[in-house]
Amino acid sequence: MTEYDQGAAAMPEFRFEPVVMPPAATGLRAEVRAFLDEEKAKGTFVATVGAMVAADPAFSARLGARGYLGMTWPKAYGGHERSALERYVVVEELLAAGAPVMAHWIADRQSGPQILKHGSERARKTILPEIAAGRCYFAIGMSEPDTGSDLASVKTRAVPVEGGFRVTGRKVWTSYAHKAHYVIALVRTGGRPEDRHVGLTQLIIDMKSPGVEVRPIINVYGAHEFNEVTFDDVFVPEDMTVGAVGQGWAMVTSELAFERSGPDRFMSTYPLLVEAFREVGGSPAPMEAAELGRLVAHLATLRRMSTSIAGMLNSGKSPITEAALVKDLGTTFEQSIPEITRRLLPLEPRAAGNGQAYDSLQQLAQMQAPCYSIRGGTREILRGMIARGLGLR
Amino acid sequence: MSSETEDMGVRHLMLRSLDRIVAEKAGHAVQAADGKPGFPTELWSALEEAGMTALGEENEGDLGLGNAAALVERAAYHTLPVPLAETLLARRLLAKAGIEIPDGALSVAPPSASHDGRAAGVPWASAVRGVVVATGPDILALIDARDVAAPGFNMAGEPRETIDLARARVIARARLADAPRVVEAEGALIRAVQLSGGMSRVLEHGLTWANDRIQFGRPIARFQAIQHLMAELAAEAAAASAAALMAVEAAAVRSDRFAIAVAKARTGEAAGRVCAIAHEVFGAMGFTQEHTLHYATRRLWSWRNEFGSEVQWQSEIGRMIAAGGADNLWATLTAHG
């Protein structure tokens, strides 16, 4: 074998080219930062880890009033016709500040864009302006008691009836369903669970519909985010389908690049990193400097990869494997922050005084960390996707 | 927009042309150079004739830093035994100090390895026309060390020699503020780019091997354990490439120590994991010189230590952020990305 005879052309190459932020992004960043400083000064919120699962509807409404939600949507639907990159700036500033974004999070990131793209005109007109105003919240109904990573095995059934569907089934781990106005559920409109990807449809279900029941599922650290949602012969009007009947699977998989490469996939424990820097002070010990510096190097790199993907998405590309790489690296990174900082700054009981912020974030981060590499596709599922992108399966 | 497209076209042609030179002229050069004295003159001349050695963006007629870095990355992918990266680095540094740049192959002495009148770990010192050395806190010199270099090699068998500075002939000298720090950072940038190129080679080797090697009646690529290892390797290589690219862009327009620190810290860390995974996937075959994997992995193990290991650069980042205050971390990140 000689060293040079292998064709390099066939090799998968992941290049994370720079993204050119629109000129408006700089001013916007300063504006969002000033707003968040003001809110913090008023005591609206204290920076938390897992901002994505901290809800404050009043805060979400204020974001809506300032034009920070539904940013890229047409004005006709309550949007602001700004670029995806400007939206990226707003989102990462919110996460960096550890602001409570859960209430509007799913609606603004995922459900709204889906409705805009694949929803009926009535759904767009009635729902999108409310999301953009920060008053309308969504949950996502994918997992079921017997359906987790193997999403195509869903059993919840929607039977066609006059003017729509009747839905019967059960969804679990449905975050924020207890406060959400709607859930977008992946249901079976045709075929049997053995038919896998065929016959799946996404429906917008009004949580106030008769037959919808919500039961809390308390998570490992005692918080109520998850729910079990039961549908008992719930009527869903025909024009509340998202996309064509039977096309649910294609839609669920195509949107994942948006969901997997965003700053929420590596910023969950960022506020803990900030507090760790505060604790070590201006002249850190060598090990503190190296370990915290290592985390900063990871974060700067992840941010580059994520903004680069935002640029690819903005120009209409579909970087599925790249997005999976970012989520794999990103969740590993955000999980490592509590583990590394606790080696530097032991968590020991201490009386009131300095370090309270660090202590409470450290505890919450440790308990919350396992979910980062589960939600939105487990690490193992993602590595399988990356392997497919590499031509290994 | 059109000039950018044009630039990418030029780069593509240049890289293909490098691939061609490698195919025609490199032959067994990598093997021949491994741990042995000498200089692959024919290969170097081919690169020189193709205009690939006039590197350093601050000189008229030279390739821009982005193109030069792409070339260095590709040469690293090919594990070429030539001081192409060192020549680019030397030319950049000489241009910064306003010293006239000689033609031909050049090198640079890593400042952290200079003690007591001796510069250690100097690539190709006895074979190049000039070596750039920071001889004082604010002084950069170009010296001829051809007759005063003691042989030595890094883990990859690349020449890393020791110069007796008192006996070297000084070709030129000029003021350059913070010379040792500047040399260390520029060197780290170039090694980060090489690390990225070397990792793309290791990824390619690993993918080819996993798809070709049959065990239990099927390619080992079909095993989930192998798939997950390779996914992790690809993720580390991708992160390394992103970090290196980011630093090159930054360095092309300003002096950006933070971006360089991030690049060397991230590529150096990734290199360790990438080599470990590749050797795990290759089994015994990769642990021999029967396969060419070692040309890439031994370079990665060497380069991650040169011009500051990842730990040194991580520490610098940590100190930099700590000194600026915890609440300025985010502003620093957004200002550099």
Look up the ipTM and state it.
0.96
Measured between beta carbons, the chain B residues lying within 8 angstroms of A17 are 245
Interface contact flag, B227 A286, Cβ < 8 Å: no
B222, B271 Cβ separation under 8 angstroms:
no
Specify the residue for token string 């020189």.
B48
B281-308, pLDDT tens digit by residue?
999 999 999 999 999 999 999 999 999 9
What is the token pair recorded at B125? 């010192």
State the average pLDDT over residues B79-100. Answer: 95
Query: Cβ contacts of residue B139 below 8 Å, gap of 6+?
Result: B173, B174, B175, B176, B179
Instruction: Please tell me the predicted confidence (pLDDT) of residue A309.
Output: 94
Q: What is the pLDDT of residue B218?
A: 97
Task: Return the higher-pLDDT residue of B252 and B141.
Answer: B141
pLDDT tens-digit profile of B177-207? Answer: 999 999 999 999 999 999 999 999 999 999 9
B223 pLDDT exceeds 80?
yes
Whole-prediction pTM: 0.95
DSSP output for A140-167: EE--BTTBSS-GGG---EEEEETTEEEE
Q: How far apart are CA A189 and CA A155, in angstroms?
A: 10
On chain B, the residues whose CB falls within 8 A of the CB of A283 are 319, 322-323
B195, two tokens: 């690390």
Taking an 8 Å cut-off on Cβ atoms, the answer to whether B243 and A304 are in contact is yes
CB B317 within 8 A of CB B265: yes
Closest Cβ opposite residue A3 in set B259, B292, B316: B292
Average pLDDT over chain B, rounded to an integer? 93
CA distance A325 to chain B (A): 5
Helices and strands in chain A, H and E counts? 13, 8
Q: Do B239 and A305 touch (CB under 8 A)?
A: yes
Cβ contact (<8 Å) for A297 and B262? yes
d(CA A13, CA B204): 9
What SS3 string covers B232-254?
HHHHHHHHHHHHHHHHHHHHHHC
CB A73 within 8 A of CB A80: yes
Which among B236, B319, B327, B328 is the top mutation candidate for probing chain A, defined by the most A β-carbons within 10 Å of its own β-carbon?
B319
Question: A153 vs A171, A197, A247, A379, B170, CA distance in Å?
Answer: 12, 8, 15, 20, 75
The whole-angstrom distance between residue A271's C-alpha and the CA centroid of its chain comes to 17
Position of tokens 């601050």? B58
Interface A-B, measured as beta-carbon pairs within 8 A, has a size of: 197
Q: What's the CA gap between B277 and B274, in Å, rounded?
A: 5
- φ and ψ of A169, to 5 deg: 160, -170
Long-range contacts of A58-64 (CB under 8 A, 24+ apart): A59/A99, A59/A100, A59/A103, A60/A101, A60/A103, A60/A104, A60/A134, A60/A135, A60/A137, A61/A133, A61/A134, A61/A135, A62/A134, A63/A94, A63/A101, A63/A104, A63/A134, A64/A104, A64/A132, A64/A133, A64/A134, A64/A135
Interface of A with B in 329-358 (CB under 8 A): 329
Residues A183, A189, A195, A200: what is their CA dihedral angle, to the nearest 10 degrees?
-40
Q: Does B310 touch chain A (CB under 8 A)?
A: yes
Q: Does A299 touch chain B (CB under 8 A)?
A: yes
Higher pLDDT: B3 or A121? It is A121
Identify the three-state secondary structure at position A229. strand
- Distance, CA of B103 to CA of B57 (rounded, Å): 15
Residue with tokens 């100090």: B97
Cβ atoms of B129 and B106 within 8 Å: the answer is: yes
pLDDT at B19 over 90: yes
**Burial category of A225 from C-beta neighbours within 10 Å (exposed 0-12, middle 13-18, buried 19 and up):** buried
- Helical H segments across A265-318, by residue range: 270-280, 286-314
For chain A, list the strands marked E by DSSP.
Answer: 138-141, 157-161, 164-171, 182-188, 200-206, 212-218, 224-237, 241-242
Q: Compute φ and ψ for A367, nearest 5 degrees.
A: -80, -25
Query: Residue B2 — pLDDT band, cuts 50, 70, 90?
Result: very low
**A8: nearest CA partner in chain B:** B204
Residue A164 burial (CB count, 10 A):
17
Minimal Cα–Cα distance from A86 to chain B, Å?
14
d(CA B253, CA B101): 21
The whole-number pLDDT of residue B62 equals 52
Contact A301 B323 (CB under 8 A): no
pLDDT for B80 beyond 60: yes
Partner B, chain A 270-289, Cβ-Cβ below 8 Å: 273-278, 280-284, 286, 288-289
Q: Which residues of chain B make contact with A322, given a CB cutoff of 8 A?
A: 238
Does A302 contact B at CB distance below 8 Å?
Answer: yes
Residue contact A301–B243, C-beta within 8 A:
yes
In whole angstroms, give the CA distance from residue B110 to residue A189. 67
**Backbone dihedral angles phi then psi of residue B51, each to the nearest 5 degrees:** 75, 20
Indicate the pairing of strand A241-242 with strand A224-237.
unpaired
Does residue A51 belong to the interface with chain B, where contact is any CB pair within 8 Å?
no
In 3-state terms, what secondary structure has residue A247? strand
Distances (CA, A) of A51 to A65, A223, A319, A356: 20, 14, 26, 18
CB B224 within 8 A of CB B122: no
Q: Mind telling me how many Å the CA of B95 is from chain A's nearest CA?
A: 27
* DSSP class of B159: B
Q: Report helix, strand or coil for B257.
A: helix
Neighbouring CB atoms inside 10 A of B238's CB total: 29
Residue type, A389: G
CB contact under 8 A, B262 and A301: yes
Contact A274 B326 (CB under 8 A): yes
Q: How far is CA A35 from CA A67, A133, A149, A311, in A?
A: 12, 17, 39, 26
In one-letter notation, the amino acid at residue B328 is N
- Mutation choice for A interface testing from B227, B229, B277, B289 by most A CBs within 10 A: B227
Asked if A303 has any chain B CB less than 8 Å from its own CB, the reply is yes
In chain B, positions 84-143, which contact chain A (CB-CB < 8 Å)?
none
The pLDDT value recorded for residue B7 is: 66
State pLDDT tens for residues B26-69: 888 888 899 998 899 999 999 999 989 986 545 444 568 888 99
Going through A196-337 in order, the beta strands assigned E by DSSP cover 200-206, 212-218, 224-237, 241-242
Whether A390 and chain B come into contact, CB under 8 Å, resolves to yes
CB B185 within 8 A of CB B294: no
**Residues of B with CB below 8 A from A284's CB?**
318-319, 322
A300, B262 Cβ separation under 8 angstroms: yes
Q: How far apart are the first and last CA of chain B?
A: 21
Report yes or no: B269 at the A interface, CB cutoff 8 Å.
Answer: yes
pLDDT at A51: 85
Residue-wise pLDDT for B130-171, tens only, equals 999 999 999 999 999 999 999 999 999 999 999 999 999 999
Q: Determine the Cα–Cα distance for residues A350 and B83; give it in Å rounded to an integer.
A: 57
Long-range contacts, B251-256 (Cβ 8 Å, 24+)? B251/B65, B251/B186, B251/B189, B252/B57, B252/B64, B252/B65, B252/B66, B256/B336
Q: What angle, rounded to 10 degrees, do the helices at B224-253 and A286-314 form?
A: 90
Pick out chain A residues at pLDDT < 70.
1-11, 256-258
Name chain B contacts of A383, Cβ cutoff 8 Å: 227-228, 231-232
Q: Could you tell me which chain B residue has the CA closest to the CA of A380?
A: B228
Which of B301, B81, B313 minimizes the C-alpha distance to B202? B301
What span, in angstroms and rounded, lies between the C-alpha atoms of A258 and A327? 11
Angle, helix B310-324 to helix B329-336, in steps of 10 degrees? 120
Q: Measure the CA–CA gap between A169 and B214, rounded to whole angstroms.
A: 45
- B313-337 average pLDDT score: 96
Higher-pLDDT residue of A214 and B25 is A214
Q: Which of B35, B40, B36, B39 is nearest to B157 (CA)?
A: B35
